[in-house]
Amino acid sequence: MAAATKGQALVANLLAQARPKFNVFLKYAKVELTPPTPGDIPAIRTGIANLVKGARTGAWKNLTVKEAWLNTLVTAEVLFWFYFTRGL
C-alpha cells in the first residue's frame, strides 16, 4: 500500500512540474502550427520568388557558415516531416 501512495505522489509531482512547460508548448503551438490564412499567401509567394531568384543569381554562395548550417537544418527538418508523415 505504501508503494501505491508513493506512486500517486510521484505522478502528482510529475504533473505539477510538467504543467508549466506544457502551457508554454500550447502557447507557441497555437501560433506556429496554424495553417496559413489567405492573407499569408502573398508573403509565401514573395518568399518562394526570392528563393528561386537567389538560386539563379548564386546568392547562396555569399552565406555565412552559420546561415548555411541553419538552412541545412531547416531543409532536413522539412524532409524528415515528409518522410515521417508518409510512413504513418
- Residue 54 has a CB neighbour count (10 Å cut-off) of 14
Kindly report the pTM of this predicted structure: 0.51
Domain residue ranges of the chain, discontinuous segments joined by + = 1-34, 40-88
Contact of 78 with 70, CB cutoff 8 Å: no
So what's the pLDDT on residue 87?
64
Residue-level pLDDT, tens digit, the chain, 88 residues: 577 788 888 888 998 998 999 999 999 988 888 888 999 999 999 999 998 998 899 988 999 999 999 999 999 998 998 887 776 5
Cell of 76: 532536413
